[in-house]
Amino acid sequence: MKIIIETLLLGELKQMAEATFGNLVKAVVDVERELIAVDAELHSDLEALLLDDGSRQKSLWGINIYPEIQGNDFVEFDSMINMRPSQGNRSRGIENEEMRKKIIAIVAKRIKR
């Protein structure tokens, strides 16, 4: 598991994917601190890593990154940690369009192709 505070090269992300799921890397984005934790079997492990590092629960969102895919399908908004009725999110996806845009911007900032 790794917290990306600067940048991660796409090649490194591909290696992580090959070592675990083959085609994807699980990640958790801290939208407040603009950080990404990557490379674990469960989103909840990445969530715990960021919480231990000072992140706040309400700022953490789980995604999957597909390093071999370009465009809109590079990021998938699907994680059990996203189910938060108290924040108006009642599914594994991320229902708020503005939040999805913010997450995509953070991923673009932290992962370099």
Angular region, 111: left φ>0, alpha ψ -120 to 50, beta rest: beta
Q: Contact at 8 Å (CB) between 82 and 47?
A: no
Q: What is the pLDDT of residue 54?
A: 98
Host H or E run for residue 76: strand 75-76
pLDDT of residue 113: 81
φ/ψ region of 3 (left if φ > 0, alpha if ψ in -120 to 50, else beta) reads beta
List, for residues 60-110, the tens digit of each pLDDT value. Answer: 999 999 999 999 999 999 999 999 999 999 999 999 999 999 999 999 999
